[in-house]
Amino acid sequence: MGIFDKFHIQNRKDQFPRRIKELKQATPIAGEVKVPDFIEHVTEQLRNEIDIDPDVYVKNNVKRGLRNANGTGVVVGLTRVGSAVGYKLGENGEKIIQEGKLYYRGYDIEDLVRGVIKDNRRGFEEITYLLLSGTLPTESELNKFKDMLAAKRQLPNRIIKDILMTTPPRDLMTKLAINVLQLYTYDKQADDVSIENVVRQSVDIIGYFPALMAYAYQMKCAYYDNKGLMLHYPIPEFGAAENILRLIRTSGEYTDIEATILDLCLILHAEHGGGNNSTFTTHLVSSTATDTYSAIAASIGSLKGPKHGGANIKVIDMIADLKRNVRDITNEKQIKKYITDVLKGKANDGSGLVYGVGHAIYTLSDPRAKLLKEMARKLAESKNKLDEFHIYEVIEENTQSLYEKVHGRNVVMSANVDLYSGFVYKALDIPNELATPIFATARVSGWCAHRLEELAFNKKIIRPAYKNIKPKEEYIPMMER
């Protein structure tokens, strides 16, 4: 069955509960050391601070959020790895919207995906090769690269024991960051930032990542959810998508279309230009010449943030709320009423946001959403979920017009990749807490490519500036305070 018999992990009625008890007893309780007076003092100080007037930012030419006044990103570097395009700038700097495009190493993502689909094969490993090397592999080159990854699919037993079974995870993204940092300990060349060594480290991390993620999830289920622990062996010759499904499911089974669409999700999430927060974090941290594990762990921490990597979970939660509040999910009029209530802040989380629609860069269309929607429909057909799939279509087709009715202004917006990835993850029975870790499993390929680029070409520490607007103060002796 692929169980790690060495650790005698069979079921909750056997040896595992004793180990869980030991871990719980050894786990410190957060907040045991209390400094209430200091915490109250700092909190009160911040509450009493007056917000900085927006005009002060303009006066000092500060680009808040590294955004220009027209919403475009401040250009802070050059890259050859990837680019996301949703508009172009006119002669006067105005944004001219256009159909969305995504390029990996200059190749249109639509061409890459359709090439994989036409050949009826998995493509994530090929895309990883492209991102790291800058070239599309021949069949022979790809097979050799897959062999390199295959050698890293199975975590060494010492890593399983030392990393996964000693620090039970509550939050999987935090656990992933910890696991990556702990890999540093097992690397005799951990601090070597030569390009050759960083390429080797990148392949190691990318190969290990599905197992690091899946085993962390299984440990979380056993420790916090009181479920049995079932650790399957990865199959080295299988790709990331197949192994993810195998490792997170008790049965270890999956269908061809399930593996195909998860592979597509990994391809579409692998890269999105150098300016997204987690990839910029890779550049920022790598510019200090620190080790690979620190840079990737920092990027995981960035992706964990709900304003960045957690959007697909927001879609899943919104659909769950819709189902609770819409009597007939096949009734388009009732769904549109729900969307209207969401936009008015009367439904879901009260934010007024329809998750899965709109994007910081893409305007008329998100190429990832278009590609994923095609395959998601096939998945819906195979699982008899077309009624549920129709909910997502209604959201995509009506949110812009309903937004105009509610807010009185026309804002161009389209479905983004999170809308249909939310459907896919739910249809694949992927638990919510794994949505962002799967995103990380895909994006680590892009992060590693950008890290290599930063080390090879930029060679200058990234050092932006903050202007201090606090007035100077006269020192007060201790007895006079």
Helix (H, G, I), strand (E, B) or coil at 63: coil
Contact 92, 86 (CB under 8 A): no
CA 432/CA 421 separation, integer angstroms: 12
Q: Which residue type does 44 have? A: E
Judge whether 359 counts as a catalytic residue.
Answer: yes
Q: Which candidate in 359, 366, 390, 429 is catalytic?
A: 359
Contact 455, 195 (CB under 8 A): yes
What distances in angstroms separate CA 160 from CA 36, 179, 182, 266, one per listed residue? 39, 10, 11, 24
Judge whether 418 counts as a catalytic residue.
Answer: yes
Tell which residue, 434, 400, 438, has the closest CA to residue 416.
400
CA 409/CA 421 separation, integer angstroms: 28
Tell which residue, 107, 113, 110, has the closest CA to residue 367.
110
- Which alpha helices (DSSP H) does 49-171 contain, by range? 54-59, 109-118, 124-133, 139-150, 157-159
Q: Which candidate in 232, 269, 418, 450 is catalytic?
A: 418
CA 247/CA 227 separation, integer angstroms: 15
Element (H, E) at 77: none
The three-state DSSP-derived secondary structure of 169-219 is CCCHHHHHHHHHHHHHHHCCCCCCCCHHHHHHHHHHHHHHHHHHHHHHHHH
CA 150/CA 167 separation, integer angstroms: 26
CA 184/CA 292 separation, integer angstroms: 8
CA 383/CA 428 separation, integer angstroms: 9
Contact 122, 239 (CB under 8 A): yes
Q: At a CB cut-off of 8 Å and minimum separation 6, what does 62 contact?
A: 467
Dihedral angle, C-alpha 171, 174, 176, 179, nearest 10 °: -120
Q: At a CB cut-off of 8 Å and minimum separation 6, what does 400 contact?
A: 357, 410, 411, 412, 413, 414
Tell which residue, 160, 168, 178, has the closest CA to residue 222.
168
* Catalytic center residues: 359, 418
